[in-house]
Structure 1
């Protein structure tokens, strides 16, 4: 899905609540403290390659290095490059300040749910895009459910969330914040 398609999808979904939910989940992804602390995992049958690529792009384009995901794989080949060799055992070391982002279009298998529960107990933030799995949603601090017959496809939800994660909020500069603060404290000033 290209940026034009994402823009069109956003326009179509403007009044549905989807964009707000995607922004909330995207904001939670940005709260990851450091590069490498965003752990992205799917099911044994569906590794989230596509979302990994999009989040990597968003990290680069937005300058938010904490969005650079670590793809966690169920059975990485031994000869793969280091960044593609991160196995499921990485979830055993998930810690406070890290985010475990789980993608499961169908029911999450029990071994995944057990690892997610362990990561949550050690203080990792759990986020998910899921297809109606009540157990996974119950373990997540924040999750978006994507019904199979809804307005948004599972792939579309991933695009919305990754694009929202890369949105850099423009904060007013120091001078403007100080001027607003002074105005609140002293009230508007009239001059001759």
Structure 2
């Protein structure tokens, strides 16, 4: 998906809440403390190659080195280059300050859920884009569920989150966010 398509998708989704959720997850990705500490893992059938590439681009373009992802693979082939040979055993070493970003469009397999739970217990932040998996969502500190028949596809959600992670805008202060929320709730005020 090119930048024009992402911009068009953002325009279509402006009033749906999707952009805000993508920004929240993107900001959570940026909280990873160091390069290599953002671990991406999928299922045995769907490794997150596409999102890995997009986050690497966002890290390079934005200058946010903490967005440089580490692709964690279920069964890396022997002799694979170092960046393609990181196996599931890396999740055993996940620590505080690192982020485990899980992508699972289907129900996550039990071995993945066990490893995610272990990483959470050691202090890693767990984020997910999932397709309605309550167990995975329950383990995640923050997750976006992508319904099959929704406005956004699973691939589209990945694009929105990766683009949001690389945005250079500052997050609005709590006071500004609360003021906007109060404006929405109370509606326009008439003063004399």
Fold agreement, TM-score > 0.5: yes
Equivalent residue number for residue 142 of structure 1? 142
Q: Root-mean-square deviation (CA), in Å?
A: 0.8
Equivalent residue number for residue 50 of structure 1? 50
Supply the distance in 2 between the matched residues of 1:2 and 1:88 (Cα, whole angstroms): 31
Q: Alpha-carbon deviation of 1:79?
A: 1.2
**C-alpha distance after superposition, 1:43-91 (max 9, x if no partner):** 0000000000000000000000000000000000111100100000100
Supply the distance in 2 between the matched residues of 1:125 and 1:54 (Cα, whole angstroms): 20
**C-alpha distance after superposition, 1:108-160 (max 9, x if no partner):** 00000000000000000000000000000000000000000000000000000
Equivalent residue number for residue 85 of structure 2? 85
Name the TM-score, length of structure 2 as normaliser.
Answer: 0.88
Equivalent residue number for residue 41 of structure 1? 41
Supply the distance in 2 between the matched residues of 1:26 and 1:78 (Cα, whole angstroms): 33
Supply the distance in 2 between the matched residues of 1:32 and 1:13 (Cα, whole angstroms): 27
Runs of 4+ more than 3 Å apart: none
Count residues in correspondence. 171
Equivalent residue number for residue 185 of structure 1? none
Supply the distance in 1 between the matched residues of 2:150 and 2:83 (Cα, whole angstroms): 34
Q: Could you say what secondary structure the match of 2:102 adopts?
A: strand
Equivalent residue number for residue 154 of structure 2? 154
Q: Could you say what secondary structure the match of 1:39 adopts?
A: strand
Q: Alpha-carbon deviation of 1:168?
A: 1.0
Q: Which runs of 5+ in 1 are unaligned?
A: 172-192
Supply the distance in 2 between the matched residues of 1:170 and 1:154 (Cα, whole angstroms): 26
Q: 1:145 to 1:170 in 2, by over 3 A?
A: closer
Q: Which runs of 5+ in 2 are unaligned?
A: 172-192
Equivalent residue number for residue 181 of structure 1? none
Supply the distance in 1 between the matched residues of 2:44 and 2:109 (Cα, whole angstroms): 8
Name the TM-score, length of structure 1 as normaliser.
Answer: 0.88
